[in-house]
Structure 1
Amino acid sequence: MTPVPEFVLEVRTMIGHHPLWLPGVTAVITRETPDGREILLVRRSDDGTWTPVTGVVDPEEEPAVCAAREALEETGVVISVDRLASVSVLPEVRYANGDRAAYLDLTFACTWVSGEAHVADEESTDVRWWPVTAMPAMSAHMSARVAAGLSTEREARFLR
């Protein structure tokens, strides 16, 4: 199960299951190898899907700092956060306990710097480098974020 940040638990004591608007990050982490470009993905413990590293931005935390923190906490790797790749709003999520949330996602293109990727917390059951040409299936929203992070565009993508 994905741990809920302390500040979210505190807010939930005041608002119950009402919708909560949260800033989140997605870190599309890549590295170059002799066999080609690879992307680091985690298998989420809550639903078993493969995704890039994601997380909720803590109060007063810079989003790029959050992306680097989440990468280290979840996979044990140090990354360079290179650019903002996309900004999007995700559809409302209703969790099993009745909590509702919507997320403003900031996706960053990131580069692996050091560290051996491994499952570093309870948020995932597997961590693996995938060739960018042979990634597992992902939701449409996640695929769009990955595509933005893998692109060579300099400007961030915005959904209109």
Structure 2
Amino acid sequence: MPTPDFVLALRAKVGNDPLWLPGVCAVVLRPLAEPTEVLLVRRSDDGTWTPVKGIMDPGEEVGQAAIRECLEETGVQIEVDRLVNVGIIGPVHYDNGDVTTYLEHTVRASWVAGEPCVGDDESIDAGWFPLEDLPGPIPPADLAQIEVAVTNPRDVVLGGLPR
């Protein structure tokens, strides 16, 4: 998906000044009880593999955003199990001069239906990967998100993962 309209409207007012935006990261596992696979997308901008991520729409709840992003980006329907991490990404400096910091909400989710396909121009590939044989490269922060989701913690981690 291109930059959301609400972000473009904000940028028209604040220019390249720093923005604080809510984001979601969905670590989708299959099967959920004893996961053996994780859903990953290959980003079109840098070629890295990541869980499904996106900017939350105004007023959108975390679980709704994760469900929407997975469907839009991969065609996969998911069910959100729980929130497993809240942390900060950024500030991110973009080539056009924009600066954004994201409050990322990571959820552990399970596969419901659908097989992965590329759903928009943000990625060039999507698929299920065995947890013991993940593709590369995966940024360290994303590996940490996968690990915290797979280890099935009962508590939410607040900013404690490496970036």
For Structure 1 versus Structure 2, the TM-score category normalised by the shorter chain is over 0.9
Q: How does 1:112-151 map to 2 (within 5 A)?
A: 112-136=111-135, 137-151=137-151
Q: CA deviation at 1:140?
A: 2.1
What is the Cα deviation at residue 144 of structure 1? 1.6
- Structure 2: give runs of 5+ residues left out of the alignment: none
Stretch moving more, 129-138 or 21-30: 129-138
What TM-score, normalized by structure 2, do the two folds share?
0.92
Report the alpha carbon displacement of residue 155 of structure 1 after superposing the two structures with TM. 1.3
Q: What does the per-residue CA deviation read over 1:140-159, in whole Å, with 9 as the maximum and x for residues that have no partner?
A: 22222111221211111122
Aligned pairs for 1:19-38 (under 5 A) are 19-32=18-31, 37-38=36-37
Counterpart contact for 2:27–2:51, Cα < 8 Å: yes
Runs of 4+ in structure 1 deviating by more than 2 angstroms, as ranges, are: none
Q: Deviations over 1:74-118 (max 9, x none)?
A: 000100000001010112100111100000000000000001211
Q: What's the secondary structure of 1:146's corresponding residue?
A: helix
TM-score by length of 1: 0.93
Alpha-carbon separation, structure 1, partners of 2:88 and 2:159: 8
- The residue that corresponds to 1:152 in the other structure is 152
Among the aligned pairs, what percent are the same residue?
47
Measure, in 2, the Cα distance between the counterparts of 1:145 and 1:19. Answer: 25
Number of equivalent positions: 157
Does the CA-based 8 Å contact 1:90-1:141 persist in structure 2?
Answer: no
Structure 2 residue 87 is the aligned partner of structure 1 residue 88:
yes
User: Any residues of structure 2 matched to 1:72-111 within 5 Å, and which?
Assistant: 72-111=71-110
| Structure 1: runs of 5+ lacking an equivalent | none
Aligned equivalents of 2:148 and 2:89: distance in 1?
Answer: 15
Residue 73 of structure 1 aligns with an amino acid whose one-letter code is: E
How far is the alpha carbon of 1:48 from its aligned partner? Answer: 1.1
Amino acid at match of 2:97: G
**Coordinate RMSD, CA, aligned:** 1.5
